[in-house]
Amino acid sequence: MESTLRRTWANINLDAIAYNYKTIKEHIGEEVKFLGVVKADAYGHGSIRVGKLLQELGANYLAVSSIDEALELRVNDVTMPILILGHTPKEQVERLIKYNITQAVTCKAKAVEYSAEAVKCGGNLKVHIKVDTGMSRLGYLCDNESFGTGVEGIVEACNMPGLEAEGIFTHFAVADEFGEKNDEYTKHQFKLFTDVITAVEEKLGRKFAIRHCANTGATVRFKETYLDMVRPGLLLYGYGEFAREWGLKPAMTLKTTVSTIKIYPAGTAISYGGIYVTDKKTRIGVLPYGYADGFFRSLSNKCSLMTKEGLAPQRGKICMDMCMIDITDKPLVDVGSEVEIFGENNSLDELAALAGTIPYELTCAVSKRVPRQYIRNGEVVEKELLLRM
C-alpha cells in the first residue's frame, strides 16, 4: 500500500546495503558464507526488499526469528535458505519442510518433537543445532560439567529420524564490547564451541556442513571465528562504531515535515508536564512525529533534529503523534520544510547514545504507520506502507 500523506517517512537506501554487503564480503573472503540477519523486518528496513537484494547479490542464508517472518519471505519470492533462530511450535514442522525452511534446535525436548513430527509427515527437516557457550539463553548447555551430557545430547539429536543436521552454531555475548575481560570471554566461548564441534563430529563420524558463530562484533574483531559462515546484523545496515571502522554506509534516513509553526512569548510551557519553558519569544515548529512512530519519549528535551538551516533542539515532552522543535533562529524553515530525524546529516548512533540504547532499537522502533521508500540508483523504486485499509 502507498501512503497518501507526506507526514513522516523512511528512505531505505538499497545501494548502501549492497555496498555494505560487498565490503563485508571483501573482508571475510569468498570462501566464507554470508548469512544476512533480516529478523524484525530487517531491523525496520523491510525484510522482503532486503531479502530479495541479498538473494540477488549472492548471499548464502537469511536468518529470521519466527516461522511467520520466514513465510513472509517465501510467499514474496525469496527462495534462498532461511534459518529460524527462535522457537517454532511442533505443529508447524510440516510447513517448515514444505517451504524448505531450516529450524534451530536448542534442546532435547525440541529435537524429539521436531523428529516425531517430521517422521509423521514423511519428510526431513533441515536443522542447525544451537550451543549455549555463555549467552545463557538458548542452546544445549556444554560448559564445565555439562560438556559430556551436552555433546551426547547433540549427537542424539543429529541421529534422530527426520532431522537433517546441516549446521551448528552459537552466539557471542560480548564480542562487540571492548576490554580484556570481554575479549577473554569471547575467546572462551569460541574455544568451547570448537571443542564441542570436535567432540560431536568424532562421535558422529561426519562433519557439519556449516559452523557459524560470528556476529557483528566478532566479524570485525575476531577473524578466527569466521569458520564456515558469518552472520552480521547491525553491520549490514551500516550503523555503529564497527560500521564506521569499515567505512560502511547507513541505510535508513528518517524524515518528517513541519506541519505547524507557533510563536510563543517568554514564560510559555511547551507540551505535557511543562518540562520546557521558553526564556524569550520563541518560534516553535510542530512535527507529525511522536512515540507512536518510534520517537522514544526518553529523548524528550535531550536531542536535536536536522533542518535545512542546521540542528533544531527538540522542546518539551515528545507526544504520541507529534513533537516540537525550536526554530527561533531558523527563519527559512517554514510549514512543509523537511526535517531529518536521523540519517546522513544527523547521526543515528548519537541519537541512540542520548536514549541510552543501541542503534537498531531505534530502527526497529520505526512503526508500521511510517511508510518506507526504497531507493536504488538514486531513484525511488518502491514504496511500502504496512497499515491495512
Helix (H) or strand (E) holding 376: strand 372-376
d(CA 323, CA 255): 13
SS3 of 379, please?
strand
Q: What would the 3-class secondary structure string for 68-91 be? A: HHHHHHHCCCCCCCEEECCCCCHH
The burial of 369, by beta-carbon neighbours within 10 Å (0-12 exposed, 13-18 middle, 19 or more buried), is given as middle
Q: Catalytic residues, which ones?
A: 39, 272
Q: How many Cα atoms within 13 Å fall on the side-chain side of residue 39?
A: 17
Which of these, 21, 83, 6, lies nearest to 251 by C-alpha position? 21
SS3 of 352, please?
helix
Helix (H) or strand (E) holding 305: strand 304-307
> Which parts are annotated binding residues for substrate?
137, 320
The three cell numbers locating residue 58:
549472492
DSSP class of residue 219 equals H
d(CA 377, CA 389): 31
* Bridging pattern class, strands 269-270 and 276-277: antiparallel
Q: Is 109 left (phi over 0), alpha (psi -120 to 50) or beta?
A: alpha
